[in-house]
Amino acid sequence: MNDRLARLVDTAKGRPVRVGIVSMYDVENNAVRILAGTLRKAGHHVAEIYFKDWISNHLDPATDAELDNLVGVVRDEQLDFVCISIRASAYYNAARILTDHLHDVLDVPVLWGGMHPTLMGAQCIQTADMVLQGEGEIALQQLGDRIRDGGDVLATGNMLFQTSDGVRKNALLPLIENLDTLTYRDYTTHDHKYFIWGKKVEKGDPMHGDPVFQMMGSRGCIYKCSYCYNSTYKKDVYPGQKWFRVRSPASMVDEINEARKHWDFKRIRFDDEVFNFQLDWLEDFCERYPREVGLPFEVFIEPKLVNAERMRMLRDAGLVSVYMGVQSSERVTGHLYDRRVKNSTIGDIATLFHELGIKGHFQLIFDDPVSTSEDKQKLFEMISEFPHPFDLYLFSMTVFPGSELNHKLLESGLISEYDIEGTATKTFYQHRINLEYPRPVEDTFWIALTQMLSKPFVPRAMLKPLAKSDFLKKHPWPLIQMAHAANYVKMGTTAVNMAANGEMTKTLMRRWLSFDRVITT
């Protein structure tokens, strides 16, 4: 092992380890909280460090003051090593900056974990002392226990280590089959949680006060969309294992009620890739949830799973909103993203949501290299038939390393390696669509028109003729101004309603209140 690891093993042997877990640009980070809870339950000391927050299309680099504050927390907590959670490949360079600074100032060992280290471990171990790949709960606890107990640290599963003889890579541990055995995420309030932002270091959990409690009742996904890391995990990381696993409704409800002891949230958002629609599980959830929790909730679903009977069950249990990926036109969604759903099916689903009184939040992807004018027009026409109210979430296509989309576009010569996140950092400035982003003029035309469809105060009888204007396709400036005005009206109305309901928090204002990078909504 390298000198930093050798010193760690020597100094921490015989006592619980003192670990810092850093979340970059993400105060919600599920992984940090569950890993922290797991290590604390095993008797180790954990400092949770939330380093900066996610700001819509404006993730700026760490400042000297923020890096110094990070060093100060690590020093004050007397940490043996620091873990950095890298939830997406765009954060790779940001993690390098933090790691190099901790190495230079404190010479403390640093471990990386998350999606990017799992897919790009050989790259990451060139900077980090340790890389944790795949699911982290069992491996990280084993690492801590072996350091404390004098075990063979270098034999820890899921881990890559820098050693004097080169890189040591260990086999992955099996996936956790029973998710109910996992420790709940830690939302308790204590002095070992930090939020570093600018020159400030605040103690306490930065999520407290947010109106929405976000949680997951499953891991993995049953689908293989080309842009998503799930397809790569299933095929390349955990082949032959059951990737999609589900918690029991009893476990989910119990975690919600445990969190309510520390935090007065107003609704729940289940952030599963797809909410579980298996009938016996759903019947249990829909009977238990309203009785034991009773808060309004939101889910993410996939069009192929939508079923009137099951949606009605969820609505009666408290479902108020659904997030669903439409992505693009029928041709592009099937050809590029490996999601084969007919436009007519999407239209029927939007109508069903409306009839049930469930608000639809439909997600679209723009800036892809294959959509034709006809594709963009068909997408506009499909959405123009959706009944109000509904929301649109417009995203700019990003390509993750190792994804099927990555391979597909590289092989066809439509992108270069510089367009792949990790090298690229498009997520930092064009995750959600901003109309000022430099893209082809006709794309801006269709984006401006499409995003106005979700505003009930913008007449569709006006938008449909504008969609046929050859002049505006070449000179969309008037449409851009209309789209901006519509966004301001909607954002203002939403902010007023949230303020009236006590849901407008400083976190939301910090993330979204900026007129120079207004996103389409």
The predicted structure's pLDDT at residue 501:
77
**What does the block give as tokens for 39?**
């290590």
Confidence of residue 514 (pLDDT cuts 50, 70, 90): low
| Residue entry with tokens 């490949």 | 89
pLDDT tens digits for 121-136? 999 999 999 999 999 9
Tell me if 370 sits within 8 A of 414, measured CB to CB: yes
Measured CA to CA, the distance from residue 460 to residue 268 in angstroms comes to 33
Q: Is the pLDDT of residue 72 over 90?
A: yes
Tell me if 141 sits within 8 A of 40, measured CB to CB: no
pLDDT tens digits for 316-352? 999 999 999 999 999 999 999 999 888 899 999 999 9
Q: Is the pLDDT of residue 513 over 80?
A: no
Could you give the domains of the chain? 3-194 (3.40.50.280), 210-384 (3.20.20.70)
E strand map for 315-399: 319-327, 359-366, 390-396
The predicted structure's pLDDT at residue 136:
96
168, β-bridge pairs: 161
Q: Is the pLDDT of residue 515 over 80?
A: no
The mean per-residue pLDDT over the stretch 153-158 comes to: 97
CA nearest to 118, candidates 102, 137, 135, 103? 135
Confidence of residue 479 (pLDDT cuts 50, 70, 90): very high
Tell me if 445 sits within 8 A of 473, measured CB to CB: yes
The predicted structure's pLDDT at residue 163:
87
Q: Is the peptide bond before 401 cis (omega within 30 degrees of 0)?
A: no
Q: Is the pLDDT of residue 510 over 70?
A: no
Confidence of residue 369 (pLDDT cuts 50, 70, 90): very high
Measured CA to CA, the distance from residue 234 to residue 229 in angstroms comes to 9
Question: Exposure of 511 by Cβ count < 10 A (0-12 exposed, 13-18 middle, 19+ buried)?
Answer: middle
The mean per-residue pLDDT over the stretch 272-281 comes to: 93
pTM higher than 0.85, yes or no? Answer: yes
Q: What angle do CA 359, 364, 368 make, to 5 degrees?
A: 180
**What does the block give as tokens for 380?**
């506009």
pLDDT tens digits for 2-49? 899 999 999 999 999 999 999 999 999 999 999 999 999 999 999 999
pLDDT tens digits for 345-366? 999 999 999 999 999 999 999 9
Measured CA to CA, the distance from residue 130 to residue 489 in angstroms comes to 49
pLDDT tens digits for 393-442? 999 999 999 899 999 999 999 999 999 998 988 888 898 999 989 999 99
